[in-house]
Amino acid sequence: MKALLNIIWLVFGGFVLALGYVAAGIVCCLLIVTIPWGIASFRIAGYALWPFGRTVVDKPSAGAWSVLGNVIWVIVAGWWLVVGHVVTAVAQAVTIIGIPLAIANIKLIPVSLLPLGKDIVPSDARYPTYQRGPQTPPYAPYPPR
Give a yes or no: residue 125 inside a domain. no
Give a yes or no: residue 143 inside a domain. no
pTM: 0.74
Strand partners, 125: none
- Distance CA(134)–CA(24), nearest Å, equals 34
What's the whole-number mean pLDDT along residues 43-49? 90
Within 10 angstroms of residue 128's Cβ, the number of other Cβ atoms is 16
Nearest to 65 by CA among 32, 28, 36, 26: 36
Range of the domain at 98: 2-120
Give a yes or no: residue 106 inside a domain. yes
Give a yes or no: residue 145 inside a domain. no
Could you read off the pLDDT of 75-115 as tens digits, one per residue? Answer: 888 888 888 889 989 998 998 988 988 998 898 898 888 88
Give a yes or no: residue 139 inside a domain. no
Are residues 133 and 60 in contact, defined by beta-carbon separation less than 8 angstroms?
Answer: yes
Domain count, the chain: 1
Give a yes or no: residue 133 inside a domain. no
User: Which residues touch 6 (CB under 8 Å, ≥6 apart)?
Assistant: 14, 50, 51, 52, 53
User: Which residues touch 113 (CB under 8 Å, ≥6 apart)?
Assistant: 73, 74, 78, 79, 81, 82
